Amino acid sequence: MTNDNLNKLLVFCVLFCAQKTSIVHGAQALETKVALLLHAEPENPKCFAEGMSDLTCFWEEDEERTGSADQYSFIYTYQNENSSECSITALPAAGGKRLYFCRLSQTQLFVPLDIRVFRDDLLIHNRSLFIELVFLLDPPANLTLTSTGTQGQLKASWLPPSLKYMGDSMMYEVSYAMAGSHIGKVEEVQASSELILRGLQSGTKYKVRIRVKLDGISYSGYWSAWTDPVLMETMPGDLDPLIVSLSLIISLVLTLLSLLVLMSHRRFLLKKIWPIIPTPESKFQGLFKVYGGDFQEWLGHSTGGLWLRPAYFYSEEFPAPLEVLSEVSLGPALPSSALPPKASEALGEEDEDEKLKRVDSALEGWRETPQEHWPMDQLRAIHQHPAPWTQSSLLESHDAYVTLNAQNHSGEELLDDILEETLPLQVLFASGRTSSESRSDLGSFQQSSGLGRLSSQSSFEYPNHTWPPKGPGYTYMAVADSGVSMDYSPMSSSKIDDIGKGVIYTNEYKNEIPAHRRPIGTPIPFAF
């Protein structure tokens, strides 16, 4: 028994609670609708139908006019029917006002309804209406947002109000906006229970709400209250494949164009970006590769090729000194060749310097064959086999030759510190006391300096090309110039046995014109 009583009590409590919940919920809904109608309906009493067979009417009274519900009477009359009265209930409202309600549970549609409200037999409200035209429905239930699988779209679905015969007369208004924004859009849909929202931003949260109203053809009414907003985020943005592909194509085309431009101007660009740094390596062979840039060391180990070529530095400025060529003629006297008039004139009339140059050029011009070793060999042969000179002389060409003759006239006098190689011809051949006046075509050499005791003889003093030996101890140096190099070799006279009597000083002839001067006492490089 106790258990049964407890069970009954439990069931009663559950039902009571459910009813209370529904009552509370109903009360809240009523309060919302009343507020809506107070705003939307100007006439009194304000009436609305929630279903197929009900009608709720109310009016509001100010505080000073409020009274008990008994003071009021609500009389309604359908067309062609008798009048009826509705019971009134009063409820408190905000601001000290009061609301008076009349609710009909059985109604007739599509027929005019006359309503009259009396307060203490005084008509205060009079209205004629069609009940099917004052519907105020509950908001749609179960509003749900789902993704359609397409970007920028959301699908809203809801449960239509369960009103018979009115499903195809319902009109819905869907309001959607980005969460947090007050600016939204509204879309209407009729006789449907779902709507696809398009044109939404990707990856954005939207809030959606909906309300319902009858379409006004057969049934009409007021907009229901909005549902509670439902939030949902749209699909994240994805790159439009068309945009991606177009971007790739454009970037590829631009890359190719830039490459073409670079390739067509690569030389110019290389010069600008990577200029060639001039290097002196070609001029200093071995300086960097062998000696690592050590110039001192390179100078010490160099083959002197540079020194052998003073013309590298001074070729354009300084002329080469006179080439001295000595030769012994063993052959028949050759007809004297006439000197080129240019040389003879030059030698005979011009100054010493210019004569020197002219002779030099003349001597070079007379060479027919570069037989540099020919006079040397012949001279050696003469010394080894001294024989009278025959006409099969060595001089088969017209080469000119000059001999240097050092005579100890004054004894110990030495030449001053002059460098033989640098002395012009007249100095080399000049002698203070001797004059080698020649009747040669070379002309006479002026003996202006009078420094040396060297005497010279040229081959042209002996037109018959007889070259008498000078005397004992006569030494000379043979010079052979092939035009490429000069070959010097000291020679002595027939008394070569007496070489011990004299000292032949030899020195390498260096075809240079150094600026320094040799100190006094340095042996004279020329042999004599």
Binding of another protein by 66 (CB under 8 A)? no
Q: What is the dihedral of CA 255, 256, 257, 261, to 10 degrees?
A: 100
Token digits of residue 74: 């609500």
- When the beta carbons of 188 and 364 are compared against another protein, the nearer one is 188
Residue 138: CB minimum distance to another protein, A: 18
Length of the chain: 528
Is residue 326 within 8 A of residue 459, CB to CB? The reply is no
Binding of another protein by 52 (CB under 8 A)? yes
Residue 43: CB minimum distance to another protein, A: 19
Site for another protein in 95-114 (CB under 8 A): 106-111
Near another protein by CB under 8 A, which window of 38-46, 73-81, 382-390, 420-428? Answer: 73-81
Rounded to 5°, angle at Cα 464 from 462 and 467: 55
Site for another protein in 134-193 (CB under 8 A): 164-165, 168-169
Residue choice 2, 80, 82, 282 for contact with another protein (CB under 8 A):
80
- When the beta carbons of 78 and 366 are compared against another protein, the nearer one is 78
Binding mask 10-49 for another protein (x = CB under 8 A): ----------------------------------------
- When the beta carbons of 107 and 148 are compared against another protein, the nearer one is 107
- When the beta carbons of 165 and 505 are compared against another protein, the nearer one is 165
Residue choice 79, 142, 258, 494 for contact with another protein (CB under 8 A):
79
Site for another protein in 188-227 (CB under 8 A): 217-218
Distance CA 128, CA 100 (A): 18
Q: Using alpha carbons, list the distances in angstroms from residue 431 to 175, 265, 436, 468.
A: 132, 72, 8, 21
Place of tokens 């993704």: 147
Residue 195: CB minimum distance to another protein, A: 18
* Cβ neighbours, 10 Å, residue 288: 14
- When the beta carbons of 52 and 334 are compared against another protein, the nearer one is 52
Residue 147: CB minimum distance to another protein, A: 25
Output the furthest CA–CA distance in the chain (Å, rounded): 187
Burial class (CB in 10 A: 0-12, 13-18, 19+), 16: exposed
Residue 78: CB minimum distance to another protein, A: 6
Near another protein by CB under 8 A, which window of 11-19, 72-80, 147-155, 375-383? Answer: 72-80
Distance CA 314, CA 307 (A): 11
Distance CA 404, CA 157 (A): 132
Distance CA 478, CA 402 (A): 9
What are the start-end ranges of the E strands in 179-319? 184-190, 194-197, 205-214, 221-222, 230-233
Distance CA 258, CA 404 (A): 78
Binding of another protein by 128 (CB under 8 A)? no
Give contact residues for another protein (rule: CB under 8 A): 52-53, 78-80, 106-111, 130, 132, 164-165, 168-169, 217-218
